Chains A and B, each alone.
Chain A
Amino acid sequence: MSAVDTPSPPAGRHHETLDTVVVRFAGDSGDGMQLAGTQFTNVSAAFGNDVSTLPDFPAEIRAPAGTIAGVSGFQICFSSHDIYTPGDEVDTLVAMNPAALKSNLQDLKRGGTLIVNEDAFEKSNLQKAGYDSNPLEDGEALAGYRVHRVPMTRLTRDSVEGLGLSQREADRCKNFFALGLVYWLYDRDPKPTEEWVKAKFASKPVIAEANLRALKGGSNYGFSTESFTVHYEVPPARLAPGKYRKITGNEALAMGMATAAKVSGLNLVFSGYPITPASDVLHELSRLKNFGVTTFQAEDEIAAMSATVGAAFGGALAVTASSGPGICLKGEAMGLGMITELPMVIIDVQRGGPSTGLPTKTEQSDLLLVMFGRNGESPLPVLAAATPGDCFWTMQEALRIAVEFMTPVVLLSDGYIANGAEPWRVPKVDDLQPIRVEHPVEPNTEDGFRPYLRDERLVRPWAVPGTPGLEHRVGGLEKADITGDVEYSPENHQHMSDVRRRKVEGIARFIPEQEVDGPESGDLLVVSWGGTFGAVRTAVRKCQEAGLSVAHAHVRYLNPFPANLETVLSRYRHVLIPELNLGQLSFIIRSRYLTDVISLNKIQGKPFKVGEVASKIKEILSN
């Protein structure tokens, strides 16, 4: 909205500048809430706010309309400064029906703004949501919130009148009406969304026009209605200078793979099987074939893993991605990759478990699975990405370790950072780290090629089939060192088990030391890993500002740990490990270093709130 042609707002209206706002759109899974949220994120990012998002959708594509099970939500935190989480409490909640109100109201902060589609609060919807009476009519239920009852269905129909849409088609535009209203409320420039609508519905100009009118209708409603007395502004964030784009974790993984293919000069073969929340990695990557990428949708998780082992043997950068249930199935072939000492990356986008668990919700409960979930002594390097953008860098690092050390590497992501978005500073191609690959072309001894003859880092050569003179056989049976022949002798098995372990442990000498945010020693060190980075970093910073002696160590390398981790842990009186599981990193740290760890565990399918971590910190330090 340009200042020139904007008429003055109704009298009594005032303008407030805020630094951080959390908005949540909630409605039926058919109401287009994910789309509204994504558009809000895009315009906020384009405006220059820092953003962090939390999509929350049901496992069922279309659960029965109007029920609690069918509620889909999208939360966006946007700010004028750096933020690391999508926010603990919601400032503005848009509820498109009674079920959305019922399941989301508890997250709306006291005094927060509630925008409801009052047209949806009729008898059958109220019943489906389990309301005995209409909460909009009940003085008690919504006391303490700034409630705006907006007849969205009716106003949307009015907005699109004359376009010849069916009632159903007209009603599908309500998300744009809601979006337009919230755009107005937070002074967002709707232009990127308008452009998007025009491009998206280029072949359906009537639908495009209807959505644009609904968007405008929502905005006009906000502008001209007395009920919205405050109009907010969140100025752009002061991010580090540079060029930015929005990125989700899954997009970043795909981009990271294409990048690794380019900088290594190798082809990349990605094998996957559809599974929530990892499928988008396959979707994104399958569009990047011109980067030397081959994607293979396998018949099952086992085949995807086995093909990854085969592709690695064949000389390609080999990657597979899945989530917990799929990783369980991949275990045997991961062991095969381990004993054949071939380079590959296994991505685990973790979700709520066990078994099928909570497919669309986030969790960090696969750490012990990827560390130990294979038969025999089968150590693998494990890395975890911290944020959506960090998925790009962690992908590069995982592939670098895989090819430099001839080992499968596990990359842990989770549903939260996989689907969540943040601004990402676009890297410069010249700043990318190379991935060096050496395929031998000559036998490595006078007597011929020895596939298990190791270098000083205990790494064996990666000879590619098709190379004359290097014909050799590998497989899942125990190998004699150097020759690679099948060998069952007791001494050899001890030796090979030790060597494989030492090789992986030795990677610690080639990774960065553990860094700490805050004082180098003190009362408390908070140790986190993976997608909890944002909540923990924010909580620790807040406590530091409040004068507490607390530091934060976010561990990216979970196996092997950075060489100095034990020393770092020993510099603090207490160690707190918050995790979205029942204490898996705590378990490892306790057993590895005999550190007396305090665990903060949450296993609700949702990320930590900053407040949850901060109050635990305060509790420990007040004792």
Chain B
Amino acid sequence: MSSLLPQLTAKDFASDQEVRWCPRCGDYSILAQMKKVLPELGIPREKFCFVSGIGCSSRFPYYMNTYGFHGIHGRAPAVATGLKLANPDMQVWVITGDGDALSIGGNHLMHAIRRNIDLNIVLFNNQIYGLTKGQYSPTSPRGSRTKSTPYGSVDNPLCPLSVAIGCEATFVARSVDVDIRHLAGVLTQAAHHKGTSFVEVYQDCNVFNSGAFRYASKKGEKEDHVVYLEDGKPLIFGKNRDKGVRLNAYGRPEVVELSSGISEDDLLFHDSKAEDPSLAFLLARMRYPDFPEPLGVLRNVERPVYDESVRQQVQEATERLGEGDLDALFNSGDTWIVE
């Protein structure tokens, strides 16, 4: 019935709260794209809810004029799961960060994804703890010098996309905060996907980790470092679109020059609908500087949706057993009369 809805605009989704991120924080751009995308979905404003954990990104719900729940550190997917089970008509977005989702909240992220509950999870990855003022995070590269690692971190980072695919995610995508058209496109596709959508956004923390994603965001530089995924199209990148990715004889990806007798047909073609997650995982493992990093939708497949299955069980039980009858419940089992 979207034709009967008043036409909403980005303004309708702005709350009356002053936005308090640091000037030039990448979060502003993501907020702006979200406000642009939601009116296009044809869903009334009251049917949206934003749920978050703790961290800079998690202030997001306060800035959206929708229903919102600012939870506790790492638990947003669990809070959102309860909300979705109680109120399945809501479109629920989970806004989280690299520390919130992958460190303290790793367990909840993993289980939300493997259940395939209908949530849209957007992970703002800035490779740093910003709100607590600059400790390294589970996505910081090994050797990161931060307040808590003055001699460099000695643990290995997680790749959010690999984690999601490992959890059997049905929708996995990546975009960049300042790549606004691309980001809007990815968010739109995430919103339309039934089941858990997982979107990683490279987000610049210009105070504590400035330029961490310069290679993937700066015009004139990024073209050689990222590859935009399009279904049915070969993986071509480079300022002059003269480089591509193909699989070698061992099934491993390699970067090739298109001029050297290699044609587009020799390249890897993208298929986000592939049932098998191997291609998506292979893409997720392409990392700067050895490979161009994939942007766009790595995986987009259909699987049973948890909240729908839960509801279906309730419906089936009600059809089979009838509406619950308290008298019958109380009197179930052996009863006896005392005169």
Would B71 and A476 count as touching, CB distance under 8 A?
yes
From 237 to 295 in chain A, residues with beta carbon under 8 angstroms from any chain B beta carbon are 237-246, 255, 258-259, 261-262, 267, 269, 271, 288-294
Asked whether A466 lies within 8 Å of B89 as measured between CB atoms, the reply is yes
How far apart are B39's CB and chain A's nearest CB, in angstroms?
A: 14
* Alpha-carbon gap, A466 to B89, bound state (A): 8
Determine whether the beta carbon of A262 is less than 8 Å from that of B324.
yes
Q: Is the CB of B69 within 8 A of A473?
A: yes
State A267–B86 Cα separation when bound (angstroms).
7
Knowing A192-B334, A473-B62 touch, does A333 contact B83 (C-beta < 8 A)? no
Tell me which residues across on chain B come within 8 A of A289, comparing CB atoms: 313-314, 317-318
List of A residues within 8 angstroms of B285 by Cβ? none
Within 8 A of B (CB), among A310-365: 310-316, 318, 332-333, 336, 340
Stretch in contact with the other chain, from B40-48, B180-188, B296-304: B40-48
| Residue B85 is within 8 A (CB to CB) of chain A in the complex | yes
For residue B250, CB closer than 8 A to chain A, the reply is no
Q: Mark A141-170, 1 if CB is under 8 A from B, else 0.
A: 000000000000000000000000000000
With a CB–CB cut-off of 8 A, which chain B residues contact A246? 333-334
Q: How far is the CA of A599 from the CA of B9 in the complex (A)?
A: 66
- Cross-chain contact A466 with B47 (CB below 8 angstroms): yes
Cα–Cα distance between A292 and B332 once the two chains are bound (Å): 18
Q: Do A298 and B65 touch across chains, with their CB atoms under 8 A apart?
A: no
Give bound CA distance, A496 to B306, whole Å: 38
A495 within 8 A of B: no
**A475 within 8 Å of B (CB atoms):** yes
For A241, give its contact among B81, B82, B331, B338 (CB under 8 Å). B338
**Given A271-B82, A294-B85, A311-B86: A473 and B324 interface contact (C-beta under 8 Å):** no
Task: Knowing A472-B67, A475-B70 are in contact, say whether A465-B82 is a contact too (CB < 8 A).
Answer: no
Residues 304 to 339 of chain B near chain A (Cβ within 8 Å): 310-311, 313-314, 317-318, 320-324, 326-327, 329-339
A-binding segment of B72-80, B157-165, B275-283: B72-80
Which residue of A46, A310, A469 has the most chain B CB atoms within 10 A of its CB atom? A310
B45, B70, B89, B318 — most chain A CB neighbours (10 Å): B70
Complex: how many Å from CA A242 to CA B330? 13
Known contacts: A239-B338, A473-B15, A476-B71. The answer to whether A427 contacts B330 by CB under 8 A is: yes
- Interface flag for A426 (CB, 8 Å): yes
Contact A259 B71 (CB under 8 A): no
Q: Which residues of A contact B321 (CB under 8 A)?
A: 290
**Which of the residues A241, A243, A465, A470 comes within 8 Å of B90, measured between beta carbons?**
A465
Cα A466 to Cα B279 in complex, Å, equals 39
Contact B108 A303 (CB under 8 A): yes
A42 to B334, CA, bound (A): 8
Q: How far is the CB of B128 from chain A (nearest CB, A)?
A: 22
User: Any chain A CB within 8 A of the CB of B206?
Assistant: no
A-B contact pairs, 29 of them (CB 8 A): A236-B338, A243-B331, A245-B331, A246-B334, A261-B324, A288-B324, A289-B314, A290-B320, A290-B321, A290-B323, A292-B324, A296-B85, A298-B78, A303-B81, A303-B108, A303-B111, A310-B51, A310-B78, A313-B83, A432-B326, A466-B90, A471-B67, A472-B68, A473-B67, A475-B52, A475-B68, A476-B54, A477-B70, A485-B17
Starting from the known contacts A245-B333, A307-B79, 18 additional A-B residue pairs (CB-CB under 8 Å) come to A46-B334, A237-B338, A243-B337, A259-B329, A269-B86, A289-B313, A296-B82, A296-B85, A300-B107, A302-B78, A306-B78, A306-B79, A307-B81, A307-B85, A308-B82, A466-B89, A473-B61, A477-B70
Which residues in B have some Cβ–Cβ distance to A below 8 Å?
15, 17, 44-47, 49, 51-52, 54, 61-62, 64-72, 75, 78-87, 89-90, 107-108, 110-111, 310-311, 313-314, 317-318, 320-324, 326-327, 329-339
